[in-house]
Amino acid sequence: MKLQQVAAVAALVAVALAATTASAVTFEVSNTASSTAGGQRFDQAFGLDYSKQVLSDASTFIWAIFNQPSEADRRPVDTVTLVVEDIGERIAFTIGNGIHLGAQYVGGISGDVKTEVSGVLYHEAVHVWQWGLQDYDVHPWIFEGIADYVRLKADYVPGHWVAAGGGDKWDKGYDVTARFLDYCDSLKAGFVAEMNGKLRDGYSDDYFVQILGKSVEQLWNDYKAKYSQG
């Protein structure tokens, strides 16, 4: 068999395996705010069935980013739930395997609803699957940074994000940390996957040294220097 044929077969097998493992997880979606303007917009522009597909696709994408080809590598989650509800001005939050999406936020989206909500769901789905959330209250920046890193790699970057090289602190979280993690991953492919794996035992600044051989402070300085020269 030619090399190209082998590669093609391997790719098909990988896709089949991903589809099989994704199908092993149940995705449940409900809208308790369907009487509100935001809830009605969700039903019309996004919908329950599309939400399930996005959550399934997001989970498969996250497992690939985290280098978790088998269920044994992942957090033990059988069901992922999404509830669209009235949570005031909050966009979304995740507790355990449950994602909560704000109807008011959906109602206020000025751009494309499918793109915006998909980006939020990719971010929140990371919180379902990432390791180490027992340390969230102490080091929230790393978990939110990884979640936005996945959103970045999935190409759901909203217009208000900082550009690469932006931000004043590597532990700012969200888009600032996501851009920094993307730089770290450019130094060693799979960096974020290794970091997520280490987070299973809690967070430590030393993980940057263990993976990349430099302190996080030095890496941040290198990152800022790279983009200041651009």
What digits encode the pLDDT tens for the residues 31-77?
999 999 999 999 999 999 999 999 999 999 999 999 999 999 999 99
Q: What helix, strand, coil percent values describe the chain, rounded to 5?
A: 60, 10, 30
Q: What pLDDT, on the 0 to 100 scale, is given for residue 228?
A: 86
Q: What pLDDT, on the 0 to 100 scale, is given for residue 23?
A: 58
The separation between CA 216 and the C-alpha centre of its own chain, rounded to angstroms, equals 21
Helix axis angle, 48-65 to 3-23, nearest 10°: 130
**Residue 13 clears pLDDT 60, i.e. is over it:** no
In terms of Cβ atoms closer than 10 Å to its own Cβ (0-12, 13-18, 19+), residue 69 is: middle
Cα–Cα distance for residue pair 10/44, rounded to 1 Å: 39
Q: What pLDDT, on the 0 to 100 scale, is given for residue 21?
A: 52
Domains of the chain (ranges plus CATH)? 24-129 (1.10.390.10), 134-230 (no CATH)
Residue count of the chain: 230
**Residue 19 clears pLDDT 80, i.e. is over it:** no
**Residue 206 clears pLDDT 90, i.e. is over it:** yes
pLDDT in tens, 93-114: 999 999 999 999 999 999 999 9
Three-class SS of 92-131: EEEECCEEEEEHHHHHCCCCCHHHHHHHHHHHHHHHHHCC
